[in-house]
Every structure is written in C-alpha cells, then in structure tokens.
Amino acid sequence: MPVSSTTLANHLLQQQTLHRGLTHELSQIIGHIALTGKVIGRELTEAALHGALGLTGETNVQGEAVQKLDERANELFVQTFEGQGGVVRAIVSEEMDKPCEVGGHAGARPGEHALFLDPLDGSSNLDANMTVGSIFSIHRVQGHVQPDVETELLKRGRDQVAAGYVLYGPATVLVYTCGAGVYQFTLDRGIGEFVLSGSRLKMPARGKVYSANESNYAKWPRGVQRFVDYLRDKDAATGRPYASRYSGCLVADVHRFLTGGGVYLYPGEISKPEGKLRLMYEAAPLGFIIEQAGGLASTGTERIGDILPTAVHQRIPLIIGSHEDVGKAEEFIQDRQ
Ligand code: P6P
C-alpha cells in the first residue's frame, strides 16, 4: 500500500477548499499535465524498442538538435489540451517557434490560462537512459488573447499561478506548487495514480553539493569562477569542499536540491551573458518551486521572479538552490566577497 492514500485528484479537491488560488480550471490543467506525464513516462520506458530514440534531424527555435521524443512529448501535451476544449488559451513550448492557441469548443467559455512548457528537458540524456523531465509554468491570461499573442504572454515569474515538473527517473514523480507549498507525488503503476509522497517540502538553508557544467569554467565571469573555487576549497567549518554532481538535465539536478539542499548554476558567459536556459519555462517555474520550498532563484544580480520577459523564448542566467548558497554566489558575482 502506498505511504499515503492521497491521490493527486483527491489532493487537488482538498486544496481547492483550502487555497483560493487553486481554481477548478487550474486543478483541471494540473490533472491534464499529470495524465500527459503518465503517457510520456510509459513511452520513454519502451522508446528503444520502437525506434523512438535519436534525433529528428531538425533544430528547434533554440538552434538545438531535436530528439524524436522532444517532438513526441510536445505533441502529447498539445493533443491533451486541444482535446480538453480550451481549458488553456495558449501553449508556449521550447519545441514550438510560436505560441499555439488552443481553440475551445464552439460556444464554450475560452480558458483563462496559458501553459508554458519544456516538454522534455534534458532529452540528450535519453540515449544513455538517464533521467529527463517535463517542466511547466501556468499564468492567467485576462480576456481574449490579443492578435499579437506573444505580448499577452510576457509575464513575470512572480505572477505564475502554478508551476512544477514531472521527473522520469527510477520513479515517475510529479512536483507542483500553486503558491501554498510544494507537493510531491509518486506514480503508483499498480493503480495508475500519482500518490502523495511529500507535502510542503522545505529545503535546507545550505547544502553540500553544487551542480554546474564545469567545462565552461574558462568562459564564466570572474565572480562565478571565484564562487566555484570557494565551493571547492577545503574548510571543515563550512562543510567545504562541496561535492559536484551534474547530470545534464536541469530539472533532475534541481530536484536533488529540493530535498538535500545545494546550488545549481548555469551562468552567463563572457561572450553569451544571457546564458543558455529559458526564463519562462525553465528558470521561472523551477524558481517558483524552489522559493516556495525556502530556497532562492537568481541571475546572480536579480531575482528570477522579478524579471519581465522580452520574448517567450528569452534565455537567462540561473543560480538556484538553498538560499544561503545562492546568496553566497550573489556575493561573489556582485564582487561583495
Ligand atoms: P550543457 C538541456 O538541454 C538543458 O536545457 C538542461 O536540462 C541542462 O541542465 C542543460 O541544458 C545542459 O546544458 O551545456 O551543460 O550541455
């Protein structure tokens, strides 16, 4: 029997009575994301048997090689929401150049939310059978989405109404927040339900692990280099050196810190100050989750949640994790150390 008999559906019903922000429509959206996550998780486990691994030969709007399963995951999310009669108004995805407007059923009230997705984060890990994840962010959209739909969708991370991810690892795990704490569900394949496995998760003030692609060290600004040097230095009083762990999947690396504490860095580089990660469907949703758990999400100089995007695919430097670790990174980056 699962540790808890609380399924995601039961939990969302309970939370609706406790938290005004969790509207019926928002609960429906989270439920549809969970359903899509179950289907994606099932397809990932057998992808190698059906020739579904590997590249499509295309590149996406980010200029990155597209895995077949990137496209498939995106297709599954769009199909789910197109089939739900407009419960969301528009979908922004790493895999789609432009926002996809989801038409409602004739006569139905159009949805009041927009969904921002990285459908399959870390997909270059798939050939190595390593953990990947789907990241989602949900904003409210007022009135009719304007003809220039993109402008309507440029919203700060602090205005998200919900955010989370589905992690496809040894277990399939769904983590979400709607601003009233972080909740974690584990897929019980025996009953086909996400079952509550963590409530109001809180992360330690500081950790013992950092996560960064250190092959980029020479390209980092001096303050970032000095921060990583600091983490590597031996000092028993502050638990250093930190261990280094980097999987190549942002959401997997960040999930590690949700429970154990620590800091993930994908900073800007001298020649690419905007960094690599996307603001609206990677940094902002993970920032909402981590800050609800007591952590911090920063560019090194600004809080991620305060940044008004200039484009839906905008990139942003990201330092995210335990608030003392991120605060220390900011001190080095802002030359206050
Ligand atoms: P690099 C995956 O493409 C991703 O967006 C994140 O999931 C991951 O942390 C990062 O890029 C990996 O980038 O440059 O280290 O290969």
Express each pLDDT in 41-51 by its tens digit: 999 999 989 88
Question: Is residue 100 a contact partner of residue 78, using CB atoms and an 8 Å limit?
Answer: yes
pLDDT at site 107:
62
Q: What is the DSSP letter of 304?
A: G
Residues 70 and 214 in one domain: no
- Domain boundary (198, 231, 253) is at 198
Residues 215 and 174 in one domain: no
What spacing in Å lies between the alpha carbon of 102 and ligand 1's midpoint? 29
What spacing in Å lies between the alpha carbon of 34 and ligand 1's midpoint? 24
pLDDT of residue 188 exceeding 80, the answer is yes
* C-alpha closest to that of 258 among 158, 116, 331, 163: 163
Q: Count the Cβ atoms, other than its own, within 10 Å of residue 170.
A: 7
pLDDT of residue 39 exceeding 70, the answer is yes
Residues 157 and 242 in one domain: no
CA atoms within 13 A on the CB side of 216: 18
Express each pLDDT in 249-261 by its tens digit: 999 999 999 989 9
Grade residue 195 by pLDDT with cuts at 50, 70 and 90: very high
What spacing in Å lies between the alpha carbon of 125 and ligand 1's midpoint? 10
pLDDT at site 106:
60
pLDDT at site 84:
79
pTM of the shown model: 0.95
- Domain boundary (147, 170, 198) is at 198
pLDDT at site 297:
98
Identify the residue whose C-alpha is closest to ligand 1 atom 4: 122
Mean pLDDT throughout 297-326?
A: 98
Number of structural domains in the chain: 2
**In sequence order, which residues have a C-beta less than 8 Å from that of residue 161 and are 6 or more positions away?**
21, 26, 113, 138, 139, 140, 178, 179
pLDDT of residue 1 exceeding 50, the answer is no
Q: 294 lies in which domain range?
A: 209-334
Mean pLDDT throughout 181-190?
A: 97
Q: Count the Cβ atoms, other than its own, within 10 Å of residue 97.
A: 10
Question: Is residue 167 a contact partner of residue 133, using CB atoms and an 8 Å limit?
Answer: yes
pLDDT at site 105:
58
